[in-house]
């Protein structure tokens, strides 16, 4: 028995995004945990819960000295995500909604 998969017409998403890479000047630590990221324009607060491995990687210097900023455009809403790469994995540290 052969099962056919129909093609979905007019399946279009109105999602677009811009992505930037920004150099990091330093990290703000509070009690061994990442609390903020210093960039040229100021400081980006860490609002997301991160696993212990990420905090350890920051303390030991195993993170990239750049962050990725994504501006996601979905319909009338814009969202900004800030990602950090630690131990070859990306983690979201800040999100607006």
* Rounded Cα–Cα distance for residues 14 and 75 (Å): 6
- Residue 75 has a pLDDT of 77
Where are the domains positioned within the chain?
15-95
Given a cut of 70, is residue 50 above it in pLDDT?
yes
Question: pTM to 2 decimals?
Answer: 0.78
27 vs 13, higher pLDDT? 27
Mean pLDDT of the chain, nearest integer: 85
- Residue 12 has a pLDDT of 53
* Rounded Cα–Cα distance for residues 38 and 25 (Å): 5
């Amino acid at each position: 028995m052969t099962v056919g998969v129909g093609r979905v017409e007019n399946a279009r998403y109105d999602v677009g995004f811009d992505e930037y890479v920004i150099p990091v000047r330093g990290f703000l630590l509070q009690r061994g945990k990442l609390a903020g990221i210093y960039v040229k324009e100021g400081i980006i607060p860490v609002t997301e819960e991160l696993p212990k491995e990420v905090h350890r990687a920051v303390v030991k210097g195993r993170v990239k000295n750049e962050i990725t900023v994504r501006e996601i455009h979905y319909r009338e809403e814009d969202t900004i995500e800030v990602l950090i790469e630690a131990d070859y994995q990306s983690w979201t540290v800040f999100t607006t909604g």
